[in-house]
Amino acid sequence: MDRSDAWVKKVPPEATVEDVVRLAREVVAWAVRDLVPIGARADRRAAFARGEALDWSRLSFAQRQVEMVSVLARHIGGTRLEGLKSEMTVFLTPPRFLGHPVLAWLHAIPAGFGVSAARERIVRPLAREHELADALRRHRAGGPVHFIAVHRTMTESQVASFFGTPDIYVVSGPFGFYAADLTTLQQAFILTQCRDSPAIAHGLTRLTAWLDEVGENAQVVALAKQADRRPSRRRSSRYRRAASTGVRRRS
């Protein structure tokens, strides 16, 4: 789009050389302000058309999901839990990650959240947290805390839809979203635009930087410890609503 007409300043006839220089600097500042975001967006789009991002775009949903979860697991670290169902990737995080070990349940949506065929691949995780009850007791860890890598975009309203209620605590950050239901004690970190391995690593870096900056990691751990002491996740009416509005396995 040609915005050159917006970068014009009229010079009064009585203007001095200093006035002309000052006006020229203002025009240049306006042009830079307008063009830098456009260039950044164009460069970001171009980056998705080469390298690993391009390789991932050639994969099927199932293949891309495997790659995304693998990268997420590698950067979060910790010990993977054995003896769970094959589609469950759960790690006991190292204390350095949040300051206390929690069970991190890793997921990946291999397209935008609005694509139902991609979204349904994570198989209603909020409705299945009870399957980790034995692991929580065995490892004396909090949680689970869900880590969800989304290949493209997700909106705040879609986060609410995922939880089954708009009455949740949601923070939108440069990494994506942190969301928690303070009634059911369920929480999730959602990384968006996970188009390749560096994007996932960068998202996690931004996430941990935000946690450290605002001290939210202590709140996350406190909520995870409370969640571990829930008597039954099946008794909450909101939990049942989240389960009924969650994604379903494809037939």
* Stronger pLDDT, 64 or 31, i.e. the higher one: 64
Average pLDDT of the chain?
Answer: 80
- Which phi and psi (to 5°) does residue 158 adopt? -70, -30
Confidence of residue 239 (pLDDT cuts 50, 70, 90): very low
Range with lowest mean pLDDT among 4-13, 21-30, 85-94 = 4-13
Residue 89: the pLDDT is: 85
Question: If you write DSSP's letter for every residue of 179-201 in order, what string do you get?
Answer: EEETTTTEEEEEE----SHHHHH
Measured between alpha carbons, how far is 40 from 123 in angstroms, rounded to an integer? 35
Residue 99: the pLDDT is: 76
> Does the pLDDT at position 138 exceed 70?
yes
**Which of 212-246 are b and which e, b meaning 16 or more Cβ less than 10 Å from the residue's Cβ?**
eeeebbeebbebbeebbebeebeebebbeebbebb
Confidence of residue 29 (pLDDT cuts 50, 70, 90): confident
* Stronger pLDDT, 211 or 86, i.e. the higher one: 211
Residue 212: the pLDDT is: 85
Average pLDDT over residues 51-69: 91
Report pTM. Answer: 0.72
Measured between alpha carbons, how far is 111 from 130 in angstroms, rounded to an integer? 27
The per-residue pLDDT for range 79-88, each reduced to its tens digit, is 888 877 877 8
Confidence of residue 76 (pLDDT cuts 50, 70, 90): confident
